[in-house]
Amino acid sequence: MNYKKPLILVTNDDGYQAKGIASLTEVMRDLGEVIIFAPDSPRSGMSSAISTSHPLRANLYRKEENLTAYICNGTPVDCVKLALNEFTDRKPDLLVSGINHGSNAGVSLIYSGTMGAAIEGSLFGIPSIGFSLCDFAPDADFSFTAEVARKLAAKVIEEGLPKGISLNVNVPAGEVKGIRIAAQTRGKWVNEYYRSKDGQDRDVFWVTGNFENWEEENDSCDEWAMSNGYAAVVPVQVDMTAYDIIPRLKEWRL
Amino acid sequence: MNYKKPLILVTNDDGYQAKGIASLTEVMRDLGEVIIFAPDSPRSGMSSAISTSHPLRANLYRKEENLTAYICNGTPVDCVKLALNEFTDRKPDLLVSGINHGSNAGVSLIYSGTMGAAIEGSLFGIPSIGFSLCDFAPDADFSFTAEVARKLAAKVIEEGLPKGISLNVNVPAGEVKGIRIAAQTRGKWVNEYYRSKDGQDRDVFWVTGNFENWEEENDSCDEWAMSNGYAAVVPVQVDMTAYDIIPRLKEWRL
């Protein structure tokens, strides 16, 4: 093994067969030695979920010079944890997750398996980035996003990121004007279900919906960047404490 | 329907048959009209996961004065979203999740289905609280935690919480000295897998591990509170932006 090359862990939430992870892997192979540890099938919307009721399995499916690839029956976070606990003999210099088919900007961050994996990597002290392209098509054109990934990955390997900090990178479909550092847009999904019937005429509910943006005019937010033709880079922290409200809660004298 | 009573949405991640949700429901019935919308089986470690590949179903299983209970084949967040989108005719005044069998203090927050549900409630502008008892036993004694829940729920109905803010409440097993407002302890899980074999002699990995506390001496953190006999209340925000690091990233001139 060549210890001079950076070791790069690649994962995603769309599963190992998705076009997005193939594009990302191709670019990462130019930057270092790659280990892929990806879910065996799509795991969209898995957030930071871990499998607690069934055991994990990992199967080697590809081995070439500077590339080792496993598939795993777990969530994106399971993939990262299992890879780092049991399948790596040195700490990766970088973790990249994606390229996701669809946006993970705004509040979608908290449901995103792509970002679940990146957040997990940051806990291990590995600079970690999740990439998403705002295009759900299985054959979406990932070429521009892959170039953003190349540039950002090289920069992050050089500069590092503090432990517990990852990057959420979202790229709009179509022409892109540049890259903006941004904050997570406040908002929520609304009209979230499509009510339908099963074969026995019983109600079933399929997830759908649209994003209600509470900060449409705020040009420091990721949704603004995306709507205005920029790729958005949001630094994300593991610490979810709402420090500002602690003094108020202390006044409750519980 | 009596619109004078507060409407309280109750859910959990251990499933509708767990002792913890029964204890929580009993106390909440003293405070208002209760709607239970709980997973049909255990969903521990589900974080903010949503079901994207199969439809949701909800079945009424109990209907009494001031109590309506549904079971759902989704995650805790699915339960909250489906209840609020399709099964409530007024906005609940409070959402409570739990009482979880096991701690969700420190970084466990990000994997917790109990807290996934509470975070989701806060996005709807509903004051939301997740409760956990640091005792995994199915027949754990929830009486003290239930009293904490009663006190805190009454206070939160009175005072409210800002949109996007929920509370993560963890109670140690055994004698409790009081309640402390705290921050999420920094740290991570280590030694996370038990390697075993299946019936065909193939490797399988079961999740396990222990929590590595990076802030053992910090008395403002939730793990310190728990270790020292206090219940810990951490305010949690949906916004995960690491604002402090934005200026540094802007200097990268991407």
d(CA B79, CA B82): 5
pLDDT tens digits for range A97-123: 999 999 999 999 999 999 999 999 999
CB contact under 8 A, B254 and A183: no
From the centroid of its chain, how far is CA B141?
18
Amino acid at A178: G
R_g of chain A, CA atoms, integer Å = 19
The partner residue sitting opposite A235, judged by closest CB among B46, B186, B245, is B245
pLDDT tens digits for range A213-254: 999 999 999 999 999 999 999 999 999 999 999 999 999 988
- CA angle (A128, A132, A134) in 5-degree steps: 165
Tokens 């939430």 found at: A13
The partner residue sitting opposite B181, judged by closest CB among A50, A159, A246, is A246
Backbone phi, psi, residue B201, to 5°: 65, 25
Q: Is the pLDDT of residue B42 over 60?
A: yes
CB contact under 8 A, A193 and B151: no
Amino acid at B196: S
Q: Is the pLDDT of residue B134 over 90?
A: yes
CB contact under 8 A, A191 and B107: no
User: What sign does the dihedral A154-A156-A160-A164 (CA atoms) show?
Assistant: negative
**Structural element, H or E, at residue B145:** helix B143-159
The per-type count for chain B, helices as H runs and strands as E runs, is 6, 13
pLDDT tens digits for range A25-70: 999 999 999 999 999 999 999 999 999 999 999 999 999 999 999 9
Residue A136: what pLDDT?
86
User: What sign does the dihedral A130-A131-A133-A134 (CA atoms) show?
Assistant: positive
B51, B191, B108, B25: which is closest to A113 by C-alpha? Answer: B51
Q: Is the pLDDT of residue B3 over 70?
A: no
- Residues linked to residue B95 through DSSP beta bridges, in sequence order: B9, B128
Inform me whether the C-beta atom of residue A79 falls under 8 Å from chain B C-beta atoms: no
Please state whether beta strands A210-213 and B230-237 pair in parallel, antiparallel, or not at all (unpaired).
unpaired
Residue A74 in contact with residue A108, Cβ under 8 Å? no
Q: Residue A179: helix, strand or coil by DSSP? A: strand
CB contact under 8 A, B86 and A181: no
State the helix-helix crossing angle for B113-123 and B76-86, rounded to 10 degrees.
30
- What's the whole-number mean pLDDT along residues B179-187? 97
Beta strands in A141-224 (DSSP E): 165-171, 178-181, 187-190, 193-197, 203-207, 210-213
Model confidence, pTM: 0.97
Residue A137: what pLDDT?
87
Residue A36 in contact with residue A25, Cβ under 8 Å? yes
CB contact under 8 A, A240 and B236: yes
Q: Is the pLDDT of residue B33 over 90?
A: yes
Q: Residue A104: helix, strand or coil by DSSP? A: coil
Q: Is the pLDDT of residue B1 over 90?
A: no
User: What sign does the dihedral A242-A245-A250-A254 (CA atoms) show?
Assistant: negative
Backbone phi, psi, residue B34, to 5°: -110, 135
Q: Which two tokens stand for residue A89?
A: 């003999």
Residue A70 in contact with residue A101, Cβ under 8 Å? no
d(CA B136, CA B139): 9
Residue B137: what pLDDT?
87
Among A14, A37, A43, A47, the strongest candidate for a mutation testing the B interface, having the largest count of B CBs within 10 A, is A47
State the average pLDDT for chain A. 96
Backbone phi, psi, residue B235, to 5°: -75, 135
- What's the whole-number mean pLDDT along residues A127-149? 94
Q: Is the pLDDT of residue A3 over 80?
A: no
Q: Which two tokens stand for residue A35?
A: 């280990």
Residue B9 in contact with residue B3, Cβ under 8 Å? no
From the centroid of its chain, how far is CA B41?
16
Domains of chain A are 7-184+217-249 (3.40.1210.10)
Q: Is the pLDDT of residue B71 over 90?
A: yes
Tokens 């199967």 found at: A59
CB contact under 8 A, B235 and A245: yes
Neighbour count for residue B174 (Cβ, 10 Å):
10
B185, B215, B15: which is closest to B106 by C-alpha? Answer: B185
- What's the whole-number mean pLDDT along residues B210-214? 95
ipTM reported for the complex, 2 dp: 0.96
- CA angle (B125, B127, B128) in 5-degree steps: 110
A124, A133, A94, A97: which is closest to A13 by C-alpha? Answer: A97
Residue A120 in contact with residue A48, Cβ under 8 Å? yes
B169, B165, B191, B189: which is closest to B180 by C-alpha? Answer: B169
Amino acid at B250: K
Q: Which two tokens stand for residue B236?
A: 């949690």
- What's the whole-number mean pLDDT along residues B183-209? 96
Q: Is A6 exposed, middle or buried (0-12, 13-18, 19+ CB in 10 A)?
A: middle
Inform me whether the C-beta atom of residue A29 falls under 8 Å from chain B C-beta atoms: no
State the helix-helix crossing angle for A19-31 and A143-159, rounded to 10 degrees.
40
pLDDT-based confidence at residue B211 (cuts at 50, 70, 90): very high
